[in-house]
Amino acid sequence: MAVMRKKTMISVAQTLQKPGGQLKQLSEQLSRLQKLNADVLELLEPDLRPHCHVANWRDNTLVLCVTSGLIATRMRYQVPELLSRLRSAGHYSLANIRIMIQPESD
Protein backbone atom coordinates (compact mmCIF):
# COMPACT_ATOMS: atom_id res chain seq x y z
CA MET A 1 0.00 0.00 0.00
CA ALA A 2 1.42 3.38 -1.02
CA VAL A 3 1.81 6.05 1.59
CA MET A 4 0.50 9.42 0.49
CA ARG A 5 2.45 12.43 1.59
CA LYS A 6 0.79 15.69 2.25
CA LYS A 7 2.24 18.31 -0.08
CA THR A 8 2.64 21.78 1.25
CA MET A 9 1.89 24.55 -1.20
CA ILE A 10 4.29 27.45 -1.30
CA SER A 11 3.77 30.86 -2.77
CA VAL A 12 5.43 32.13 -5.93
CA ALA A 13 7.25 34.74 -3.82
CA GLN A 14 8.73 31.99 -1.63
CA THR A 15 9.76 30.03 -4.70
CA LEU A 16 11.47 33.06 -6.23
CA GLN A 17 13.34 33.79 -2.98
CA LYS A 18 14.59 30.22 -2.46
CA PRO A 19 18.42 30.47 -2.41
CA GLY A 20 19.99 28.70 -5.36
CA GLY A 21 16.60 27.96 -6.90
CA GLN A 22 16.23 27.91 -10.65
CA LEU A 23 13.32 30.34 -10.61
CA LYS A 24 15.33 32.79 -8.54
CA GLN A 25 18.22 32.56 -10.99
CA LEU A 26 15.86 33.00 -13.92
CA SER A 27 14.21 35.99 -12.28
CA GLU A 28 17.60 37.60 -11.59
CA GLN A 29 18.73 36.99 -15.20
CA LEU A 30 15.52 38.58 -16.48
CA SER A 31 16.08 41.64 -14.27
CA ARG A 32 19.65 42.00 -15.54
CA LEU A 33 18.52 41.75 -19.17
CA GLN A 34 15.74 44.30 -18.64
CA LYS A 35 18.22 46.76 -17.08
CA LEU A 36 20.70 46.14 -19.88
CA ASN A 37 17.98 46.59 -22.51
CA ALA A 38 17.01 49.94 -20.97
CA ASP A 39 20.67 51.03 -20.96
CA VAL A 40 21.17 49.98 -24.59
CA LEU A 41 18.03 51.75 -25.78
CA GLU A 42 19.06 54.92 -23.96
CA LEU A 43 22.43 54.91 -25.74
CA LEU A 44 21.11 54.18 -29.25
CA GLU A 45 20.12 56.76 -31.80
CA PRO A 46 16.36 57.40 -31.51
CA ASP A 47 15.54 55.99 -34.96
CA LEU A 48 17.22 52.65 -34.10
CA ARG A 49 15.44 52.08 -30.77
CA PRO A 50 12.24 50.51 -32.15
CA HIS A 51 14.30 48.05 -34.19
CA CYS A 52 16.64 46.70 -31.53
CA HIS A 53 16.41 44.77 -28.26
CA VAL A 54 18.66 42.76 -25.97
CA ALA A 55 18.26 39.03 -26.58
CA ASN A 56 20.86 37.60 -24.22
CA TRP A 57 24.08 38.05 -22.28
CA ARG A 58 26.35 35.03 -22.38
CA ASP A 59 30.09 34.63 -21.80
CA ASN A 60 30.54 38.41 -21.50
CA THR A 61 28.93 38.85 -24.92
CA LEU A 62 25.81 40.94 -25.38
CA VAL A 63 23.49 39.59 -28.07
CA LEU A 64 21.29 42.21 -29.72
CA CYS A 65 18.42 41.37 -32.08
CA VAL A 66 17.56 43.78 -34.84
CA THR A 67 14.72 43.74 -37.35
CA SER A 68 16.61 43.90 -40.67
CA GLY A 69 19.92 43.64 -42.43
CA LEU A 70 19.98 47.41 -42.89
CA ILE A 71 19.63 47.98 -39.14
CA ALA A 72 22.23 45.27 -38.47
CA THR A 73 24.73 47.05 -40.71
CA ARG A 74 24.12 50.38 -38.97
CA MET A 75 24.47 48.72 -35.57
CA ARG A 76 27.74 47.01 -36.49
CA TYR A 77 29.26 50.40 -37.23
CA GLN A 78 28.17 51.59 -33.77
CA VAL A 79 29.38 48.54 -31.80
CA PRO A 80 32.76 50.01 -30.68
CA GLU A 81 31.16 53.17 -29.29
CA LEU A 82 28.21 51.30 -27.77
CA LEU A 83 30.59 48.84 -26.12
CA SER A 84 32.61 51.67 -24.61
CA ARG A 85 29.54 53.55 -23.39
CA LEU A 86 27.99 50.42 -21.84
CA ARG A 87 31.22 49.72 -19.97
CA SER A 88 31.19 53.32 -18.72
CA ALA A 89 27.58 52.77 -17.59
CA GLY A 90 28.71 49.95 -15.29
CA HIS A 91 28.69 46.86 -17.50
CA TYR A 92 32.42 46.34 -16.93
CA SER A 93 32.63 42.67 -17.90
CA LEU A 94 31.14 43.26 -21.34
CA ALA A 95 33.70 42.08 -23.90
CA ASN A 96 31.77 41.85 -27.16
CA ILE A 97 28.48 42.72 -28.84
CA ARG A 98 26.93 40.34 -31.35
CA ILE A 99 24.18 41.47 -33.72
CA MET A 100 21.51 39.01 -34.88
CA ILE A 101 18.72 39.64 -37.36
CA GLN A 102 15.23 38.67 -36.23
CA PRO A 103 12.63 40.04 -38.64
CA GLU A 104 9.40 41.32 -37.18
CA SER A 105 6.51 38.92 -37.55
CA ASP A 106 3.31 40.22 -39.10
pTM: 0.76
Q: Say if 5 falls within a structural domain.
A: no
Q: Say if 6 falls within a structural domain.
A: no
Check if the beta carbon of residue 60 is closer than 8 Å to that of residue 95.
yes
Q: Say if 17 falls within a structural domain.
A: no
pLDDT for residue 99: 97
Q: What is the CATH number of the domain that holds 80?
A: 3.30.300.180
Q: Say if 9 falls within a structural domain.
A: no
Q: Distance of CA 15 to CAs 8, 18, 33, 57, Å?
A: 12, 5, 21, 24
| Arithmetic mean of pLDDT, 76-104 | 94
- Measured CA to CA, the distance from residue 28 to residue 41 in angstroms comes to 20
Q: Say if 53 falls within a structural domain.
A: yes
pLDDT for residue 15: 66
Structure-derived torsion over alpha carbons of residues 14, 19, 25, 31, reported in degrees to the nearest 10:
70
Q: Say if 76 falls within a structural domain.
A: yes
pLDDT for residue 38: 95
Number of domains in the chain: 1
Residue 10 — very low, low, confident or very high, per pLDDT cuts 50/70/90?
confident
Domain limits at 77? Answer: 22-101
* pLDDT reading at 48 higher than 90: yes
Cβ neighbours of 42 (radius 10 Å): 10
pLDDT for residue 106: 62
